[in-house]
Structure 1
């Protein structure tokens, strides 16, 4: 077993009972091929929670700051994450993300770019739209619902892949595609709260 699988099992055994994690929609998650997994962001625990509930390994874009501390850098690299410079057009992160999708893997991204402290959805950054338009990846929305409080249920809802064909065909802007994806995440939040 590789490090990712071992870490996933260990973290799952701790977080699932602690936060009473309930997962829905897994049957809609593509079993193979490139997936752009788009999730709202309410806590630093979102990446491990999505990582332990998703049916396939995820390559997360992670804030560059995590790669500055040697121990943390080693850990996140073993968990297959790669750095992104926030607040700027990071060409290397975009290239890496495209390569992940080209290899048929799952790219995990938080479209808002940072955590929402009040739990409300923020405007998505155009990067998520760039990936959705530039690849044929299945775009899967995901909603994390609930407080991160011990023994209070936390829901992770995976939605059906979003049909990006109309936007790809009319060459929509990355901003428009990002807003479209966020609308689907918003719908999941509203339906399952």
Structure 2
């Protein structure tokens, strides 16, 4: 689901993907402060005890149906938030594999503490990261290409694919997946038709 937040003096809400669920007892989102961003600046300035005007909006196109099929989670930057929510809720240890790209491991590795912990307790089966501002780093679509054999194996096992982040990132991911699937006689369009591929983009 999404949370809509209305910053003071604004009439239009800004929507953020939730990294938490109803059973967690708290609301967690991932917000990068944007230069000139009214809502992100408002949120970053909040102190303990402050309140915000907010509401929950369902996002039925970006859910995980029940089952044991593996899940391929792909995200970049703050787009990791709903993917972290899926992992946090994965107490039944469904096979989940996260491919995550960010700028710098010390400044932009959102959920960098939780992800290894979730991997250790079985909620996350595979964690694959890359950081574009470090030597030898790159973008998330590049590590998908590098791990082509594993990615194709997961898709062959019926994996559900969920992508969250910028539209530019998602376009790059789509191009890589189509290139990998083509020689297998498959396509991204087929995954979408089967309800196995969904995006949450901003």
**Shorter-chain TM band:** 0.3 to 0.5
- Relative contact order (alpha carbons < 8 A, sep ≥ 6): 1 or 2 greater? 1
The structure where helix makes up a greater share of residues is 1
TM-score (normalizing by structure 2): 0.38
Point out the structure with max Rg over C-alpha: 2
